[in-house]
Chain A
Amino acid sequence: MPLSLLRAVRETGMVWLSMFVLGIGLGVMVTSSGLPWWVAPLLSGGVYAGSVEFLLVGLLVASAPLSAIAMTTLLVNSRHLFYGLSFPLHRVRGMSKLYSVFALTDEAYALAAPRDPRRLSHGWILWTQLGLQLSWMSGSLSGAIVGATLLQNVKGLDFILTALFIALAMDAYRHRPDRVTLVSAAVFGIIAALLAGDSMLVLAMSAFTAFMLLRHQWNKRRTQPVEQPDA
């Protein structure tokens, strides 16, 4: 077994397991809403973008127009526009970069972005991403086949997503304790949730990004010495 696979399992295996369990939730949702079982691996393997897959199940059942599917995917996944800015893709070699971009999920980003890129190998990044995707796909397949009968009436399973983001946010704060980021993101999130409800993600993330751009401008002005022609 390659060393990079061992390292990836040791450092990210717990997240693989969470992806598997969360995938069960997606699979249960697919078959309990009346869609054929193979839609679960098709969504988890093809679209492979957590939250929008849950939304797509509802849209597919309603036979929503393709334009609605395109718009929903664009809005919910637009947060991915920011992930590429700090994901260590330069550590991945050759054509594997294409897979690495395809599999750049919230979890892959959260696991790789906060680490020192010099310590991340080609193999570590790819094994981590492949492990996450295979766990997610096999979870959704198990959920679709088995869970539809066993777990159909169990409530609260989707809290996995909430718990995962809470723990990842706390890790990100521990890595870089920055109160301005923490408070402004929370405030923009709450305002956007009050204004836009289900579609709050795009609004909150755009507003937060705009605020961070302003913050950068302000910091730059403050740290650059003001020219004093009279001095």
Chain B
Amino acid sequence: MPSTGYIFLAVGVALAITFLLRALPFILKNAIKDSPLLLALNSWMPLGIMVILVVYCLSMIDPADSRLAGAQVIATLVTVAVHLWKHNLFLSVLAGTGTCVALANGLLPALL
């Protein structure tokens, strides 16, 4: 097991890098304020980054564990459907995760 000193040092390194990454655009932004480029990126980046994070999560599905993978695919469809229906973030997350946990642990009759 790692030593306490090592854990604190490692967390410190991760903290410093994360903070710098978060602070950098604000420092650079003053140099490029009101640029048309910034306005364009403003309107495109939020959707693009969320879509890439979704692809990232879905690409982590491991087909070797077929019951878990099947549960994740069905839960993805459930999440999309519930979100289209109610537009309620928490409800969608709850329905999706609930479906995934229930199917992956065999709490629902085996559909897979």
Contact = CB atoms under 8 A, between A and B. Distances in A.
Size range of the chain B interface in the assembly: 35 or more
Nearest to A86: B42
Contacts of A42: 7-8, 11
A213 B37 contact: yes
Interface in A142-163: 154-157, 159-163
A217 B23 CA distance: 26
A3 interface: no
Given A85-B29, A154-B105, A189 B96 contact: no
A220 B93 contact: no
Contacts of A83: 22, 25
B64 to A, nearest CB: 14
Interface string B19-52: 1011111100100000011101111111111111
Interface string B91-105: 011011100110111
B103 to A, nearest CB: 7
Contacts of B1: 34-35, 61
20 contacts: A35-B2, A42-B7, A49-B14, A56-B14, A69-B13, A81-B21, A86-B41, A104-B22, A110-B46, A155-B104, A159-B75, A160-B97, A161-B57, A167-B83, A172-B47, A176-B43, A185-B48, A185-B51, A186-B55, A189-B56
Given A156-B72, A205-B52, A47 B11 contact: yes
Contacts, number: 259
Interface of B is mostly: helix
Contacts of A9: none
Given A69-B14, A162-B54, 11 more contacts: A46-B11, A47-B15, A56-B10, A74-B21, A77-B18, A85-B38, A162-B57, A166-B92, A170-B84, A192-B52, A208-B49
A45 B90 CA distance: 23
Interface stretch (A13-21, A119-127, A130-138): A13-21
A190 B87 CA distance: 26
Given A52-B18, A185-B48, A186-B55, A156 B71 contact: yes
A207 to B, nearest CB: 9
